[in-house]
Structure 1
Amino acid sequence: MHSGMIARMVALVALLLPAVATAAQPVSTFRLDNGMEVVVIEDHRAPVVTHMVWYRVGAADEPAGHSGIAHFFEHLMFKGTHQIPEGAFSKVVAENGGQDNAFTSWDYTGYFQRIAADRLGLVMGMEADRMRNLVLNERLVATERDVILEERNSRTDNDPGSLFREQMNAALYMNHPYGVPIIGWRHEIEELGLPEALEFYRRYYAPDNAILVVAGDVNPEAVLELAKTHYGSIAPSNNPPDARPQEPPQLAARRLEMRDARVRQPYVMRQYLVPTYEAEAPGTAAALSVLANVLGKGITSRFSQQIEIADRIAVSTGAFYNDSARDRTAFTIYGVPAPGHTLAEVEAALDAEIARLVAEGPTEEELDRIKRKTRTDLIHAQDDVAGLARLYGSALAVGLTVEDVEGWPDLIDAVTAEDVRAAAENWLLPAHSVTGYLMGTDGEAG
């Protein structure tokens, strides 16, 4: 999947994470002897099942100079084995009434099928087969490399917004590989070949680096037996991803301006480097999540009420926080100026609202509204078992536990007005940020 689609998927996960307290569907966990984790989410309302395998490797784990190899290999996984001919994997799933796809993020790569419950053994066997038995050659690698280069051309190089976000990430992360685009830099994609693909595959695609999530009309013990049958005999690699380089302290605010003749609607974006969910201090992530809601989630948010509706300086504003990451993550704010107003005016207005929140804190009414919405989201989340499978899989893939997921709403409930105010004061610091202006080739930034 394209990095923009992944970003939206990650944002959805971040939205759903506060929405799951104690899942209505029972959740069972196991571990196979070869190290593979197994999570089973029961939902017997329909005779369907979602089968997912998450590998704890993503774009942030790529060797230097080989950017895009994680996403490249996601594509190659559909090429075939000795048992499943080239291009037949998705065809077999479709012939059995199912759907399948895959996705890559900075932290993980995932593969899934949604199919009738009585076909679970079929897709599990196919997925287990390609975990270690993929058949690749120079022709297949060269063909798929051309596909990915065209994907980058159509979805990134031809979209100034995507190019701008790449530049923003690269500026935010000077040392951490989150600054490298998931799809990869074009000049490095062009150099990817069969040796790089095989080395990546043999190291990371193994049961001890994978999480199996099965959700739907299933029995946990039966799923465990199927998992033992299909995955249990696969040898572990005993070769997890290396420790990642981390960011040095950021000592100064960073700014960039990007001009592109294709831009029709300029906007300002700022990213702050902030903590993700950490077991030692989970309350920080909860406070940042609430802070994003207070500032920029929806029509009732402060940015919307003041900057869009009252002052009419912007036509769109927002704030979001990605708590579904393994390492330090981004808290993002943005604003799109209204006709007759400038990017500088919008930036000043965003800063003014943050300063007001630091000075006054949120109101109890704001906190109550956000917490009520959390509980409402819980009800809706139970209706999407595939969404729950993604939720648990993405959490475990970045190092969290089932207990972390299920305990998150209690952390949200415990957030106080002072917690939110302190989060803004401590983390939304100009010295820890990158501010970018995306503009056309005409007009001024100020």
Structure 2
Amino acid sequence: MNARPPSPPARRLRALLARAAAGVALGALALTAAVPAQARIYDPETFTLSNGMQVVVVNNPRAPVVSHMVWYKVGSADEQPGKSGIAHYLEHLMFKGTSKLKPAEFSRTIASNGGQDNAFTSYDYTAYFENIARDRLELVMGMEADRMTGLKLTDEITLPERAVIQEERRQRTENDPGSRLYEQLNSLLFVHHPYGTPIIGWMHEVEKLTTQDALDFYKHHYAPNNAILVVAGDITAKDLKPLAEKTYGKLKPVKDIPARVRVTEPPTEGARRISLTDAQVSQPSWMRIWKAPSYNAGAKEHAYALEVLQSIMSGGATARLYKSLVVDQRVAAGVSLWYQPTALDLGTLGLSATPVPGGDVAVVEKAMEAEITKLLRDGVTADEVERAKTRLKREAIFARDSLQGPAYAFGLALTTGQTVEDVEAWPERIGAVTVEQVNAAARAVLAADNHATGILLPDPNAPPMPGGRAAPPGPPSTTAGHAPEAGDVQ
């Protein structure tokens, strides 16, 4: 079972999400500012069905294909205490059939029509997608609407799939020291909020999930008035609306959908630290993470500036961290600063690095801390800010040419409290970021000592393991996905 979005591959999808997220914005900078037509990234069309389902259409007629995505405004952070993993479990079960479709028939039908399909769960949303020829769109919409409310589950279907998820957890987390380290590190960072619970769930809770648990979660959260349809590609709203009304429009809304109320993360003091030694590790690695403002929570006025900071520090081979630690000092083989602002609640900002072969992780940590001290003392320059803003806006423009990029951008935004205009306003808002704002944002987050640090080390008593594992520098996956059935397309 793949614990990351399985199609496209994890690293490509992470890059796609990063580009898509470049179009996602809320924050406190010019929230109500009008967006000039020439500044619009995707220029979408929108409408809402009578049952409350919101629809976004992004026309891209370069090829007769579409990316069809249904996003539900529910994720693992919306689970009841003691039921961790139920959102991801239900995502798997959505492929197990309805009164119209046999188990696995959904994906086999998509594949037989030349398409690709899959799904993924995150803290704040669950999404299902199909990439398919334009003339097969009505088929896809009919099947997706059918399983939105018509899922059929029995113990004979659910319990074997629960075992699949348990095996997925063993393979992707328990047998991967980097994943185990991050899971523990994240639980140290978020001590009370559900973001500290793994999306796939804790094993001792997953093994107790029942058919009724899945049905209850499905009944409460899967409904047209809790879902967003995003279609990008060779389609216009004029052509899509009759299809949407014919399929999704027939579904009844669900009353009393649970409010998305999460516990508030308490203030934390002091640095926390964890070290993991494992025989599978051949190369040590280092990671440090902070809670940070998102577009929706915390000191939101820093969100855009933190995006610019991320690009300055880790936006390629000429970025500060790579140039200093990899090129000049030659103490690191890889280094990264990432920022994840697309959350309904607080986001995260993190640093990670891998020492050069034979290098000392303590040396890398000291070099990283020196760079952060320099940043907080001297700040960034006007030239760095301007180059970073140009780079970010260019990436957003490139995302427009992607089939799935726009669909991800709007899905991420609209499931986490943002609006279509917030996505479209991103270039204007990122362009307004100043040197002073970047420096203030860096000090607001990186000067705090309430971070969590994780170190992954080889077992000195274990025999050498060529190709052993180390956690790669960069943001960990924040999704869990559906493993394709036989006949599925990755």
Is the CA contact 2:276–2:457 (under 8 Å) kept in the aligned structure 1?
Answer: yes
Query: CA–CA distance in 2 between the matches of 1:169 and 1:11?
Result: 22
- Asked whether 1:441 is paired with 2:438, we answer no
1:341 is displaced (CA, Å) by 3.7
Identity %: 47
TM-fit CA distance, 1:318:
0.5
Find the residue that maps to 2:337 and give its secondary structure: strand
Give the 3-state SS of the residue equivalent to 1:250 in structure 2. coil
Count of residue pairs brought into register by the alignment: 443
**1:100 offset after TM fit, Å?**
0.8
Shift of 1:19: 5.5
The one-letter code sitting in structure 2 at the alignment partner of 1:162 is S
1:407 pairs, out of 425, 438, 446, with: 425
Residue of structure 1 in register with 2:475 after alignment: none
Q: Which of 377, 380, 388 in structure 2 is aligned with 1:362?
A: 380
**Matched residue, 2:116:** 99
Code of the residue aligned with 2:222 in structure 1: it is: Y
CA RMSD of aligned residues (A): 2.0
Q: Which amino acid aligns with 1:327?
A: D
Output one character per residue of 1:207-231: Cα deviation in whole Å (capped at 9) or x when no partner: 1110001111112022122212211
- Post-superposition CA distance 1:9-48 (Å, at most 9, x none): 4564234333589456530111122211111111112111
Separation in structure 2 between the aligned mates of residue 381 and residue 212 of structure 1, nearest angstrom: 19
Structure 1 SS opposite 2:333: strand
2:388 is the counterpart of 1:373: no
Partner of 1:319: 337
Q: CA 1:281/1:158 → structure 2, altered by over 3 Å: closer, same or farther?
A: closer
Q: Per the alignment, in what secondary structure is the counterpart of residue 91 of structure 1?
A: helix
Distance 1:111 1:188, change over 3 A: same
2:355 aligned with 1:337, yes or no?
yes
Residues 258/70 of structure 1: CA separation in 2 closer, same or farther (3 Å cut): same
Shift of 1:276: 0.4
1:251 alignment partner, one of 247, 256, 269? 269
Q: In the alignment, which residue of structure 1 is the partner of 2:145?
A: 128
> How big is each residue's C-alpha offset from its partner over 1:123-182, in whole Å with a ceiling of 9 and x where there is no partner?
111100000101111011011111111111111111100111101111110001011111
| Contact preservation (8 Å) 1:13, 1:324 | no
Whole-angstrom CA distance in 2 between matches of 1:280 and 1:255? 24
Say which SS state the counterpart of residue 449 (structure 2) adopts: helix
Larger helix proportion, structure 1 or 2?
1
Query: Is it true that 1:85 corresponds to 2:85 in the alignment?
Result: no
Unaligned runs of 5+ in 2: 25-37, 462-490
The 3-state SS of whatever aligns with 1:39 is strand
Name the CA distance, whole Å, in 2 between partners of 1:98 and 1:383: 19
In the alignment, which residue of structure 1 is the partner of 2:91?
Answer: 74
Q: SS in structure 1 opposite 2:321?
A: helix
Moved more, 364-373 or 60-69: 364-373
Secondary structure of 1:156's match?
Answer: helix
- TM-score normalised by length of structure 1: 0.94
Query: 1:245 offset after TM fit, Å?
Result: 0.9
Q: Residues 365 and 45 (structure 1 numbering): CA distance in 2 closer, same or farther, change over 3 Å?
A: same
Q: Distance in 2 between matches of 1:47 and 1:340?
A: 52
Aligned equivalents of 2:457, 2:171: Cα separation in 1: 20
Q: Which amino acid aligns with 2:21?
A: L
1:34 to 51, 64, 77: 51
Secondary structure in 2 matching 1:245: coil
Structure with more relative contact order (C-alpha pairs < 8 Å, separation 6 or more): 2
SS of the residue aligned with 2:375? helix
d(CA) in 2 for partners of 1:212 and 1:75? 20
Task: Map residues 40-439 of structure 1 onto 2, 5 A cutoff.
Answer: 40-238=57-255, 239-278=257-296, 282-439=300-457
Is the 1:10–1:324 contact (alpha carbons within 8 Å) kept by the matching residues of 2? no
8 Å CA contact retained: 2:52, 2:224: yes
Distance (whole Å) between structure 2 residues aligned to residue 286 and residue 157 of structure 1: 36
Once residues 124 and 225 of structure 1 are traced to their aligned partners in structure 2, the CA distance between those partners, rounded to angstroms, is: 11
Q: How far apart are the structure 2 equivalents of 1:337 and 1:280?
A: 33
Range with greater deviation from structure 2 (265-274 or 25-34)? 25-34
Q: Matches of 2:285 and 2:94 in 1, distance apart?
A: 38
SS in 1 for 2:417: coil
Opposite residue 99 of structure 1, the aligned amino acid is Q
* d(CA) in 2 for partners of 1:315, 1:11: 20
Q: 1:25 to 1:413 in 2, by over 3 A?
A: closer
Aligned-partner Cα distance in 1 for 2:244–2:391: 37
Change (3 A) 1:10 1:68: farther
Give the C-alpha shift of residue 233 in structure 1: 2.4
Structure 1 gaps, min length 5: none
The 1:3/1:329 distance shift into structure 2, 3 A limit, reads: farther
Whether the 8 Å contact between 1:2 and 1:183 is mirrored in structure 2 is no
SS of residue matched to 1:432: coil
Task: Give the TM-score taking structure 2 as reference length.
Answer: 0.86
